[in-house]
Amino acid sequence: MVVDAWEGNLKTLEIKSAVLFVYEGEVRPLQKLGRAISGRVRKALEVKTFKGKEGEALSIPLPGTRIPLVYLIGLGTKEKSGADTFRKASALAVKAMRKDRVEESLFLCQKEDPHITQALAEGAVLGSYRFDKYRKEKEEEPFEVSRILIYTSDKEALEKGKILAEAQNYARSLVNEPGNVINPETLAQEAKKLAKEYGLDCKIYDEKQIQKMGMLALWSVGKGSSTPPRFIHLTYKPKGKPKDRIAIVGKGLTFDSGGLNIKPGDYMRTMKMDKSGACGVLGIMRAIAQLKPQVEVHGIIGAAENMPSGTAYRPDDIIRAKNGKFIEIDNTDAEGRVTLADALSYASELKPSVIIDMATLTGACMVALGEFTAGLFSNSESLARRLEEISKGTGERLWKLPLDDERLRKKIKKGPADVINTGGRYGGAITAAMFLEEFVDEGIEWAHLDIAGPAWSREEYGYYTQGGTGFGVRTLTEFILGL
């Protein structure tokens, strides 16, 4: 599907369909399409009710005219709508077109605004996403929407939206790949391929090098699997002197069975998504390579598969992480934080000003916030605020949780080692974040996003399909672009 900017004469335009995005209470059809068309639309609205509520869609056939089909897509009230309203509405329009088997359309808004243009492009690209490569029995007559034109002169906003949404779709597809296809080795190959295609630096460390570098935490988590762990380091360097340096770290458990503390079947299902943070990092690096900000960006992934076996790590094990701290294993299913211990230590050694990690870290975060909101933790109030602000526009919901409860922190600081990998039943998302904090060097601004909930969608919603969501790709890329 191509998404393009178009700004020709609307009064003579001939196209298979047009989509008008309208606010609630302002349903008078846009005059821009010319008197004849808007008159016919007004006539149709005398018999059909359309209020313009968010999520409302109406198709009005106008046979014999220049535009034989007009869609009205509701945005809700102007006060309540934001960029994400347009993103969702755009996806809804593309989904309606696919259902009606309409090949092309012009998307039209009341006013032009770069954020809206970008959101419409994002919604169109995200809304057309499908993961059907494993369906060999295709539909009888396969159909794809072939062309979306957005009525705008702002090519730059449109291109940015396309790049961001394509990066998110790329992350979604990687998340949707099962554990028999993506394991630590093949994930590393994917990173290499990405680097080659987009001109990034890429270093891959195998299980021997991982041990040599002192990343015994990552190595331990991965050693129960017959596909050994990999450490992935992608770098984007701008031309000329960078304004800033940032590291993005992703949890990369290609499958999380729980290990010796094995998960019950119901909980093990969908654990191919435990690499969502890593896939997000690959998506971000892809977008950054295309958008070329004046910032040095490091993408870091500790990839492992958590399996039970004779060589698996065990409860009671005491492991030395890269930064020299010792970790006592209480539960092998709290493996993500153990792999991140080394990834964050490695990232700290690069001396970035900011580290942001994304991890499907705890079920507890879903208990706290529900499955549609990521937990946000940070040692920097201003970093947290910037991320919250950006997330309002991207629609990737974040909610800040505290790291300052020193009494709670004690729960991971008892026992024979420096730190223990679980903190008991209560505040599980917080004690997990506090564990991570142990591996970030003093003086580095750090934020952790616990994306256990929103990384995966159980159903189709807005611009999401069932499955991987690519959550975080747009928010963190926008953050980097704003540095």
| Host H or E run for residue 448 | strand 445-450
Closest approach of Cβ 423 to ligand BES, in Å? Answer: 8
Q: Which stretch binds Mn ion (CB under 5 A): 100-108, 110-118, 332-340, 349-357?
A: 332-340
Which of residues 69, 148, 364, 480 is near ligand BES by CB under 6 A?
Answer: 364
Residue of 245, 263, 392, 400 marked catalytic = 263
Q: What is the largest CA-CA distance in the chain?
A: 80
Q: Which stretch binds ligand BES (CB under 6 A): 22-30, 188-196, 333-341, 393-401?
A: 333-341
- Among candidate residues 165, 70, 78, 186, the one with its CA nearest the CA of residue 117: 165
Q: What mask of x and - would describe binding to ligand BES in positions 442 to 471, judged by CB under 6 A?
A: ----------x-------------------
How far is residue 238 CA from its own chain's centroid? 23
Selected binder of Mn ion within 333, 342, 396, 438 (CB under 5 A) = 333
For this structure, is 263 an active site residue? yes
SS3 270: coil
CA-wise closest residue to 207 among 187, 227, 234: 227
Q: Choose the stretch contacting ligand BES; rule: CB under 6 A; options: 12-20, 166-174, 326-334, 381-389.
A: 326-334
Smallest gap, in angstroms, from Cβ of residue 253 to Zn ion?
Answer: 5
Are β-strands 104-108 and 147-151 bridged in parallel, bridged antiparallel, or unpaired?
A: parallel
How many residues can be counted in the chain? 483
Closest to Zn ion by CB, 207 vs 274, is 274
247-276 positions binding Mn ion, by CB under 5 A: 256
**CA-based end-to-end distance of the chain:** 32
* Span interacting with ligand BES, options 4-12, 109-117, 195-203, 332-340, rule CB under 6 A: 332-340
Give the sheet arrangement for strand 445-450, strand by strand. Answer: 201-205, 230-236, 295-306, 244-256, 354-359, 445-450, 374-378, 398-400
Instruction: Give dist(CA 98, CA 110) in Å, integer.
Output: 24
> Minimum Å distance from CB 331 to Mn ion?
8
Give whichever of 167 and 429 is closer to ligand BES, judged by the CB atom.
429
Q: Which of 166, 177, 256, 328 touches Zn ion (CB under 5 A)?
A: 256
CB-nearer residue toward ligand BES: 415 or 482: 415
* Size of site (CB under 5 A) for Zn ion: 4
Smallest Cα–Cα separation from 170: which of 387, 480, 477? 477
Question: If contact means CB under 5 to 8 A according to the sort of partner, which of Zn ion, ligand BES, Mn ion, none does residue 401 touch?
Answer: none
Considering the rule CB under 6 A, would residue 274 count as an interface residue with ligand BES? yes
Q: Is 363 exposed, middle or buried (0-12, 13-18, 19+ CB in 10 A)?
A: middle
Q: Taking the complex as a whole, how short is the minimal distance between the CB of residue 268 and Zn ion, in angstroms?
A: 11
Report angle CA 312, 313, 314 to the nearest 5 degrees.
115
Long-range contacts of 131-138 (CB under 8 A, 24+ apart): 131/172, 131/173, 131/176, 131/465, 131/467, 131/468
**d(C-alpha 145, C-alpha 104), whole Å:** 6
**Min separation Cβ 194 and ligand BES, Å:** 24
Q: Measured between alpha carbons, how far is 327 from 338 in angstroms, rounded to an integer? A: 8
Size of the site for ligand BES (CB under 6 A): 15
State the minimum distance, in angstroms, from the CB of residue 256 to Mn ion: 4
Q: Which of 57, 66, 64 is nearest to 21 (CA)?
A: 57
**Binding to ligand BES by residue 335, rule CB under 6 A?**
yes
422 touches ligand BES (CB under 6 A): yes
Q: Candidates 74, 250, 336, 462: give the one binding Zn ion (CB under 5 A).
A: 336
- Nearest residue (CB) to Zn ion, 58 versus 365: 365
We find the least distance from the C-beta atom of residue 377 to ligand BES, in angstroms, to be 15
Whole-angstrom distance, CA of residue 277 vs CA of residue 340: 11
DSSP state of 66: S
Q: Does 315 bind ligand BES (CB under 6 A)?
A: no
Distance set, CA 10 to CA 62, 108, 134 (Å): 16, 10, 41
Q: Which of 337, 397, 411, 474 is catalytic?
A: 337
What values do phi and psi take at 339, rounded to 5?
A: -65, -40
Look at residue 250 and give its three-state secondary structure. strand
Binding residue (CB under 6 A) for ligand BES from 363, 393, 418, 441: 363
Q: Of 68-76, 77-85, 251-259, 343-351, which segment contacts Zn ion by CB under 5 A?
A: 251-259
CB of 315 to Zn ion, least distance (A): 16
Beta strands in 336-410 (DSSP E): 354-359, 374-378, 398-400
Smallest separation (angstroms) from Mn ion to the CB of 335: 5
Pick from Zn ion, Mn ion, ligand BES, none: which does 363 bind, CB < 5 to 8 A by kind? ligand BES
Which residues bind to Mn ion, rule: CB under 5 A? 256, 333, 335
Active site residue ranges: 263, 337
Footprint on this chain of Zn ion (rule: CB under 5 A): 253, 256, 274, 336
Residues at the contact surface with ligand BES, assessed by CB under 6 A: 256, 274, 331, 333-336, 360-364, 422, 428, 452
